[in-house]
Chain A
Amino acid sequence: MNRDYYIFSNGRLKRKDNTIYFIDSGNNKRALPVEQVDKIHFFGEVDFNSNLLSYLPRFGVMLNVYNYYGYYSGTYYPRKKNVSGFLVVNQAVYYNDYNKRIALARSFVESSIYHILRNLRRHKEVTEEIIDKIEKEKANITKANKIAELMGVEGRVRKWYYRGFNCILREEFILKGRNRRPPRDPVNALISFGNSLMYTAVLGEMYKTQLDPTISFLHEPSTKRFSLSLDIAEIFKPLIIDAVIFKLINNRVIKEEDFDIEEEICFLNEEGKKKFIEEYETKMATTIKHRKLKRKTSYKMFIRLECYKLIKHFIGDEVYKPLKAWW
């Protein structure tokens, strides 16, 4: 499987002949094996040249850029080679027919809540009450016949869920409610950083398929984001990111000194980001034997499989059923 590379240093990424090198500010040169690279993530300040940018698409390498706070800024992605106009037309049909659209939106919310409950049940001695509330709220998924109502259900579930964080997490880490742009406390900083990574991971997998990332169902297709990526990320955030956060905090891997707080803005510093990414990458590479495919399947591949199931839905092959982790 092709790897993701994370570059924290400032420097320059360049192509020389048929090799790409990263040269850091101290003039240390390191070659990257371009054929084994999936994505490169930049957290520092890096210069590129067009010679490099015209070379990377041959290998389908994506460049993801994050700002100083670790927020996702954008992606340089290769010219898309595998396109299917047929699929895009059909995908759009599922957006345009409100009944078809909401059925998909429901699936995303349903799977997200399933994974949220799965997380809470692992600590059920302390989260029983919250589980109850969410179970009750869950019944509203089928009743909702507007996307906005569905978003309401999702929002309320998340509110309860984040309260549950305080029961699950070690007491030094308190979540007083979700805040973003900017996050104001360590747990919010972790959630925001994790969500950025999740978004780029889904986009990366979706890019290997013929799905159109702009036609989404739960989130309104927008011009600012690849909103189908947000839809699919709903499924995987509790399954991957939240699991990483619980582990990092409760196993005392992440500590207070891994965060910087500047004028009420809290973010992971370099050391903190590295710890997060290490655990996140371990999680993504973890495999489960797929009960249908009978093959070892990584969390990362589960994202791609979700894309495949959506394609099958759009081409009238098989009705989409979202992932509900069974292990």
Chain B
Amino acid sequence: MELKTASIQGVKLNYYYICKRKLWLFAKGISMEHNSDRVLSGKVIHENSYPRMKKREVLIDGLVKLDIVDGDYIREVKISSKMSKADRMQLLYYLYYLKEKGVEKKGLINYVKERRVEEIELTEDDELEIEKAVKGIEQVLQLKSPPEVINARICKKCAYYLFCYVEEED
């Protein structure tokens, strides 16, 4: 079966919903995640959650990295539910991607620290939204320079904060 969507990494879908500037920078290799304590803490949580699950960190086509595959479900581990829309879309994209490959699954998002699990199923509306988002991502990545800073509350915790906001006054 041929894929309808362009092949993109799942994290790009996540960033698309959080900040288009972050998406652009990340896609151009200008990443900041390596010097963020928050990202490190996420990594530790990933590595230490669900140690008994056998299929952890499954990488498909070098693009889609599933945290956990557990029977009919794929699970995504997140620190907090603050970015729930972006996290949901990322997982939905994985479901979509698998579906195009002929594998139908359901999804679970595990908010580890909140001890909460959310179940997700891919609907037709979701599929349309994902297709739209993938097109949107391609448009962002075609820009010659990065989209503007979004000046949002979430910026303060972002690994790109210093990068985006550093500036000299005269």
B166 contacts A305, C-beta separation under 8 Å: yes
A309 contacts B30, C-beta separation under 8 Å: no
Question: Is A315 an interface position by the 8 A CB rule?
Answer: yes
Q: A291-B169, A293-B166 are in contact. Are A85 and B146 (CB under 8 A)?
A: no
Question: Is B50 an interface position by the 8 A CB rule?
Answer: no
Q: How far is the CB of B31 from chain A (nearest CB, A)?
A: 6
B165 contacts A312, C-beta separation under 8 Å: no
Among B91-136, those with CB < 8 Å from A are: none
The residue that B29 contacts in the complex, of A82, A321, A324, with Cβ under 8 A, is A82
The residue that A322 contacts in the complex, of B163, B166, B168, with Cβ under 8 A, is B168
B29 contacts A308, C-beta separation under 8 Å: no
B145 contacts A315, C-beta separation under 8 Å: yes
A292 contacts B166, C-beta separation under 8 Å: yes
Among A124-147, those with CB < 8 Å from B are: none
- Encoded as 1 (CB less than 8 Å from any B CB) or 0, chain A from 299 to 327 comes to 00100110011011001111001111010
CA distance A292 to B163 in the complex (A): 12
A292 contacts B165, C-beta separation under 8 Å: yes
Question: Is B28 an interface position by the 8 A CB rule?
Answer: yes
Contacts of B48 in A (CB 8 A): none
- Determine the interface band of chain B, counting residues with CB < 8 A from chain A: 10 to 19
B144 contacts A82, C-beta separation under 8 Å: no
Question: Is B167 an interface position by the 8 A CB rule?
Answer: yes
A84 contacts B28, C-beta separation under 8 Å: yes
Closest to B27 in A: A86
The residue that A308 contacts in the complex, of B31, B144, B163, B170, with Cβ under 8 A, is B163
B166 contacts A308, C-beta separation under 8 Å: yes
Question: Is B34 an interface position by the 8 A CB rule?
Answer: yes
B166 contacts A311, C-beta separation under 8 Å: no
A210 contacts B29, C-beta separation under 8 Å: yes
A316 contacts B163, C-beta separation under 8 Å: no
A309 contacts B31, C-beta separation under 8 Å: no
A293 contacts B29, C-beta separation under 8 Å: no
Question: Is A53 an interface position by the 8 A CB rule?
Answer: no
Q: A87-B28, A305-B162, A315-B28 are in contact. Are A82 and B34 (CB under 8 A)?
A: yes
| A→B interface (CB under 8 Å) | 60, 81-87, 208, 210, 290-293, 295, 301, 304-305, 308-309, 311-312, 315-318, 321-324, 326
Q: List 30 A-B contacts (CB under 8 A).
A: A82-B34, A84-B28, A84-B29, A84-B30, A86-B30, A87-B28, A208-B34, A210-B29, A290-B166, A291-B169, A292-B165, A292-B167, A293-B162, A301-B162, A305-B166, A308-B162, A309-B167, A311-B30, A311-B163, A312-B163, A315-B145, A315-B146, A316-B144, A316-B146, A317-B146, A318-B167, A321-B167, A322-B168, A324-B168, A326-B169
| B→A interface (CB under 8 Å) | 28-31, 34-35, 144-146, 161-163, 165-170
Closest 4 CB pairs of A and B: A84-B29, A316-B145, A321-B168, A86-B28
